[in-house]
Amino acid sequence: MRDFIRTNFFPFKATYKTSDISNLLKSQVVSSSSLNNFEIMDISSLSIIRNNSLVFLEKKIDDKNFSSKNVHIVSDIIDNKNFYENITIVKNLSDSYNKLLNEIYFHDDHIDMQDEFDFVDGSYLSKFAKIHSISFIGKNCVISRGVEIGKNCIIKDNVTIKNSLIGEDVIICENSSIGTTGFGFNLNRRGSLYLNPQIGTVIIDDGVHIGSCCTIDRGKIDSTYIGKNSMIDNMVHIAHNVVIGNNACIAAQTGISGSVKIGDNATIGGQVGFAGHITIGENVVIAAKSGVTKNVKDNSVVAGFPATDIREWKKKIIRQRKNGH
């Protein structure tokens, strides 16, 4: 999977050092210590630790990457201050994440986000986007800041693309929206004022086909990823941080919840629903209208709700019919 330069999409409002965190978070801060007062260059997830970055930590973890790179921890677990030299303890991690990222980044769920567009052949193209000369952009499209579109791509009418890296030979059909905000918020504090800032991207690899009226949300911190030569039918929703392997085939009206991982060569029928944070193996087949609530092993064929081995599902249907259901 390609990495990305976050500030191409979400510029910093100013220069910040770790010593500024306490002032930015103010009443949220319980305690703070910083052995190295470095300039903050990025935000890291636990999956990809970047140098000179902040990590928001909601559990106890001993990671050598935190000491091998300039990393400052923000956590609401008080005991974590005994493990790390660069750490700020806060009262509420979700509120601190929201406040800090809204303070330091321009992003497109914030009223002061800025972009500059040229009106070209009936579409709005950002001056900060990179579009290969041998690619086609249809009418009424919006291609926003930081987007890169590779060679031989076809972007059909009324498509919106933001916060995304598009490979070569990709087709995106009419009325699809790529790179929009993920559905991230605290269940106890709802509404637009409490959305978790989503500062990741979408990466669509080479040879992917995306149908009409699809939505693919950008990652929270890292990327939502669609693997090479995958086929996405119409009206499919792919939530933030989903990773789909190569050669996937996903039929219409499927909904994939956040942080689901799907292996190579998956075949997914129409109207399948996925619970979040589960892993689907390689060469898996999922029958239409299934509800997938747990991990699925490699080479499985599943059906039903909750999705189970298709042979067991067929036996269940036969029993129900015999009982008059």
- Range of lowest pLDDT (99-108, 128-137, 265-274): 99-108
- Range of lowest pLDDT (6-20, 122-136, 199-213, 256-270): 6-20
Pairwise pLDDT comparison (297 vs 320), residue with the higher score: 297
**Residue 318 pLDDT > 90, yes or no?**
no
* pLDDT for residue 63: 64
**Residue 66 pLDDT > 80, yes or no?**
no
**Residue 324 pLDDT > 80, yes or no?**
no
Q: Exposed, middle or buried, 45 (CB in 10 Å: 0-12/13-18/19+)?
A: middle
The token pair that represents 54 in the structure block = 């902040």
Which of 173, 81, 127, 91 lies closest to 72 in space, CA to CA? 81
* pLDDT classification of 65: cutoffs 50, 70, 90: low
Residue type, 280: I
The CA-atom distances, in angstroms, between 86 and each of 131, 168, 193 are 41, 42, 30
* pLDDT classification of 134: cutoffs 50, 70, 90: very high
**Residue 190 pLDDT > 80, yes or no?**
no
* pLDDT classification of 130: cutoffs 50, 70, 90: very high
* pLDDT for residue 68: 66
**Residue 195 pLDDT > 90, yes or no?**
no
Q: Exposed, middle or buried, 65 (CB in 10 Å: 0-12/13-18/19+)?
A: middle
**Residue 3 pLDDT > 80, yes or no?**
no
Which of 61, 59, 55, 58 lies closest to 86 in space, CA to CA? 55
> Hey, what domains does the chain have and what are their CATH numbers?
6-104 (3.40.1390.10), 116-236 (2.160.10.10), 242-325 (2.160.10.10)
* pLDDT for residue 2: 73
Mean pLDDT of the chain: 92
**Residue 159 pLDDT > 70, yes or no?**
yes
- Per-residue pLDDT of 71-96, as tens digits, reads 999 999 988 888 888 999 999 999 99
* pLDDT for residue 84: 85
Contact 108, 181 (CB under 8 A): yes
**Residue 222 pLDDT > 90, yes or no?**
yes
Give percent of the chain with pLDDT exceeding 70.
96
Active-site annotation, residues: 240
